[in-house]
Homo-oligomer: A and B are copies of this chain.
Amino acid sequence: MTDVPPTEPPFHRAKWPFYWIARVTGRYFQTMETALEPIGIDVPSYRVLMTLYEDHHVSVSAIADACVIKLSTATRIVQRMTADGLVVTRPSPRDRRVTEVSLTAKGETLRHQVKAIAESVLAQAFEGVSDAEREALNSLLAGVFGRLKG
């Protein structure tokens, strides 16, 4: 047995999945910011609009959870969107601590435009990627998300 020299083990970011995940997220939001500029929507509002796509009344904390942001940040984004006339809020009849957020007519209209923009960005980013690969990606990431401790 010979001594190995005390060199550091090799390290390459490019082999590090979280490097690419963070990178793609950063560039994606940057791309969306540019693509959404013509219709005057910023990225936080876009994320909330998409969250409101599936359910009509969503609580502020559900929005915070879906977007992985702090509750107080979600409160502020909803306040801005309310000022812009995109959403309205009301206390939940079931639990009056809860603030339910829903789209206005203006918000409905923008939601569709925003979705179309997001779909074109997605199509370009995943050009040449098969449906099977996409699904594998989704389930792999869902698994990783589940194993990450909050």
Contact = CB atoms under 8 A, between A and B. Distances in A.
A113 interface: no
Interface in A45-60: 47, 50-51, 53-54
Given A31-B150, A150-B31, A69 B145 contact: no
Interface string A70-100: 0000000000000000000000000000000
Given A115-B11, A142-B14, A68 B30 contact: yes
Interface residues of A, number: 56
> How many copies of the shown chain assemble into the complex?
2
Given A126-B144, A137-B137, A145-B24, A11 B150 contact: no
17 contacts: A12-B54, A13-B50, A16-B122, A17-B141, A18-B28, A20-B141, A21-B21, A21-B141, A22-B25, A22-B67, A26-B67, A27-B148, A28-B148, A30-B148, A31-B150, A124-B147, A129-B140
